[in-house]
Structure 1
Amino acid sequence: MSLHQGLRGKILTPEGWVQGRIEFSEKIAAIHADKNAAEAELPYILPGFVDLHVHGAGGKDTMEAGDAVSVIARQHAKHGTTSLLATTMTAPQADIEAALHAIRPLVDARPANSARVLGVHLEGPYINPGKLGAQPDFAGIGSLQQVQHLHAIAPIRLVTVAPEMEGHLQLVRELTALGMQVQIGHTLGSYEDGVAALESGAKGFTHLYNAMSRLDHRAPGMVGAALAHAEFSEIIPDLLHVHPGAIKAALRAIPHLYCVTDSTAASGMPDGQYMLGRQVVHKCLGGVRLEDGTLAGSTLTMDQALRNLVSIGLTLEDASRRVSTYAADYLGLSERGRLRAGAFADLVVLDASLNLIAVYVEGEKIDLSDA
């Protein structure tokens, strides 16, 4: 890939803003300061977005297998997501295996015009059947052997676990020892269960506040464990799943709170009926719900997540870290989620209103038509 010599803008680096130009091919070669251009004329250049919780987009769901994840990765790239985890649902073992077989080739080789698929987020089936949320009723007790079997099909980077289930604290310890990130979610566990899971190696929480025991001043619940002890946690900032005030409380409590879309097949699609795993969901008025009204993932894209964070008062620098850097840090990806020499050339270019102008994934310019 030839060196791109002259992408100019207000560039957000780990050390702060640099007004100038960025040189890159697959990776960033250099960032040069240049004070000559009028600042008002320059776009913002930020790290590409990193989304660790993606079920679908463009009418496709990860659990469909086939070409679903390739469609999903293309659709999210058009909205600035440069790397993602394909996220499975609670389902029969055969369904999960089929989805992983379809994901594996996309991890091994990134197709053109697509986000990088980093691996799999296994969201269930190791969750509490009493806190399914929008998950189908196939929850069960996990085992190291089962996860290793799935990991041999496609690399599992992240596993959601309800720690209060029998044997799951041991599972947390075993998966952590294998180098997988384990996070707490879809749980009726107590505050004490959450603390025990963190002490056993769990590092984060799945869609904070949603599908977990709530905070009460005499029974802090899993939300209380997250707010009191977590360094990392997902949150869905569509301003529907979580009130802005609750987002602000989490921002004060959790140093590396990062954003996910939890996007479904309905993302980027008109109102109507879609599939989420084996569940039928309905998109209407910007939300996705089951027949009974339960929220079932979102239609959020990461560019909108960035704008939402800024709209509730975050600086652009802080918002950028929460849609890029912290998620990359959570997975130990030092070459993603930041703009510096040697990092992958994953970047987004935005205008003054924070609308996308251009997206680059590993140096490739993404076609944004029909975004």
Structure 2
Amino acid sequence: MLILKNCSYLSKDRNFVTGNIAVDKDTIVNIGDFNISSEDIVVDLNGKKVIPGLIDIHFHGAVGYDVMDASPEEFNKISSYLAKCGTTSYLATTITSSKKNLFVALSNIKEAANNKHLAQASIEGVHIEGPYINSEKKGCHDVNYMRAPLNSEFDELKSGFGDTLELHFTIAPEIQGAEEFIKYACKSGATVSIGHTNAKTETVKAALGWGANIFTHLYNAMRGIDHREPGVAGTALNSDSYVELISDGVHVHPDIVNITYKLKGSEKLVLVTDAMKAAGLGDGTYDFGGFKVIVKDGIARQENGTLASSTLTMLNAVKNIMKFTGASLEEAVRMGSENPARAAHIFDRVGSIETGKKADLVVLNDNLEVQSVYCRGKQI
């Protein structure tokens, strides 16, 4: 077995505790104070902090590759980059496209997800962001491919993935067919996020009743708050649902991040990156969703100035939320690991340091930088 000795690990009670972590193959099998065999492989961490691997449930690409057209081999490069940054699990996120292109992308995602023997971040599912959204809040999505959701299309998606990967959808609840689809998808085991929507509060409340449990990149591409109409954002803040937040200080002003934290707490905030292919590469000209995107000073925008995803990493999102709100490391890690796992229904296997869960572990140095990463027990 692999033993991470003398570490300060984030326990399931969300406190840092001094002890050891034992890993057998890809699974955590023991935690705390226990006997170590002479046959064990021991890594003495000398008190360094160990957190559960971070989980990004809204991620479009990195290092020059896009989820929509990456080959299985290119997904390996994406997953390797993520692991080096402290992200050990993610939902590969698609963008509005033709049905043909969507299913080609999903086929590549499914094949890439089978590379579980490699020391890299694992694809736990797919986040289908569009085409079931409102053109009035399109963001950087192509209106030509937006369409109403159909239960028959859900069945096609479900049959293609089986039980191997989670299905997570962003849907505008006011569009035709949304109510039936959300109810059907949630009953079938998928999760649904409310996003890219111009719905009014009553429709949003109804969608939560249909089964939606989270909001896609809160404040961005949705009806804002008015004192006579809470809108999507206001209803999200006043609900018990999870909310995604892009904590880069650009998509949402730091003061609004702080207000959101005060209202939702660390219990319901889900940090995401919404990163695109420029992540890990730097400034330059790229394409995303069929549009030209210019990245300057790390900020990605279309030529018309519309924000087009980000170049953020999950670890930087964790550090930013601490800076913007005064949240503790324990709270910030919860927002970057446990909460996304719970929202996407994958907390049974990832999102915390507990026996029986995947050995996805990130060792941090004193400056909260990645010192080493273990993906399913394999050090990258």
Quote the offset at 1:237 in angstroms.
Answer: 0.7
Are 1:204 and 1:230, in contact at CA under 8 Å, matched by a contact in 2?
no
Are 1:69 and 1:86, in contact at CA under 8 Å, matched by a contact in 2?
no
Paired with 2:296 and 2:117, the residues of 1 have a C-alpha distance of: 32
353-362 vs 276-285, which moves further: 276-285
Number of aligned positions between the proteins: 359
Could you report, residue by residue, the CA deviation over 1:82-123 in whole angstroms, capped at 9, with x for unpaired residues? 110000000011110110111111223325132110111000
Which one-letter code corresponds to 2:206 in the other structure?
Answer: A
The answer to whether residue 124 in structure 2 is matched with residue 125 in structure 1 is no
Aligned match of 2:118: 112
**DSSP-derived class of the 1:296 partner:** coil
Aligned pair partner of 2:340 in 313, 327, 330: 327
Are 1:18 and 1:33, in contact at CA under 8 Å, matched by a contact in 2?
no
Aligned match of 1:354: 368
Aligned match of 2:312: 300
Which one-letter code corresponds to 2:109 in the other structure?
Answer: I
Aligned match of 2:300: 288
135-144 vs 55-64, which moves further: 135-144
Quote the offset at 1:303 in angstroms.
Answer: 1.3
Are 2:7 and 2:19, in contact at CA under 8 Å, matched by a contact in 1?
yes
Aligned pair partner of 1:224 in 228, 234, 241: 234
Aligned pair partner of 1:213 in 223, 228, 250: 223
Quote the offset at 1:192 in angstroms.
Answer: 1.2
Q: TM (normalized to structure 2)?
A: 0.91
Which one-letter code corresponds to 1:227 in the other structure?
Answer: L
Aligned pair partner of 2:8 in 7, 10, 32: 10
Paired with 2:17 and 2:108, the residues of 1 have a C-alpha distance of: 41
Aligned match of 2:154: 147
Which one-letter code corresponds to 2:342 in the other structure?
Answer: D
Aligned match of 1:53: 58
Are 2:134 and 2:172, in contact at CA under 8 Å, matched by a contact in 1?
yes
Aligned match of 2:252: 242
Could you report, residue by residue, the CA deviation over 1:62-82 in whole angstroms, capped at 9, with x for unpaired residues? 111324433221211110111
Aligned pair partner of 2:102 in 87, 91, 96: 96
Query: What is the correspondence of 1:135-174 to structure 2 with a 5 Å cutoff?
Result: 135-137=141-143, 138-154=145-161, 155-174=165-184
Compared CA separation, residues 277 and 352, structure 1 to 2 (3 A): same
Quote the offset at 1:33 in angstroms.
Answer: 4.3
Are 2:61 and 2:279, in contact at CA under 8 Å, matched by a contact in 1?
yes
Paired with 1:6 and 1:227, the residues of 2 have a C-alpha distance of: 40
Paired with 1:156 and 1:140, the residues of 2 have a C-alpha distance of: 22
Paired with 1:242 and 1:273, the residues of 2 have a C-alpha distance of: 23
Paired with 1:310 and 1:41, the residues of 2 have a C-alpha distance of: 25
Paired with 2:197 and 2:74, the residues of 1 have a C-alpha distance of: 28
Could you report, residue by residue, the CA deviation over 1:178-217 in whole angstroms, capped at 9, with x for unpaired residues? 1100110000111111101001111110001100000111
State the 4+ residue runs in structure 1 displaced beyond 3 angstroms: none
**DSSP-derived class of the 1:91 partner:** coil
The answer to whether residue 273 in structure 2 is matched with residue 268 in structure 1 is no
Paired with 2:305 and 2:6, the residues of 1 have a C-alpha distance of: 46
Quote the offset at 1:41 in angstroms.
Answer: 5.4
Are 2:86 and 2:373, in contact at CA under 8 Å, matched by a contact in 1?
yes
Q: Percent identity?
A: 36
Aligned match of 1:184: 194
**DSSP-derived class of the 1:64 partner:** coil
216-225 vs 24-33, which moves further: 24-33
Quote the offset at 1:234 in angstroms.
Answer: 0.9
Any gaps of 5 or more consecutive residues in structure 1? Answer: 35-39, 367-371
**DSSP-derived class of the 2:274 partner:** coil
Quote the offset at 1:335 in angstroms.
Answer: 2.2
Quote the offset at 1:28 in angstroms.
Answer: 1.0
Aligned match of 1:21: 20
TM-align CA RMSD: 1.6
Q: TM (normalized to structure 1)?
A: 0.93
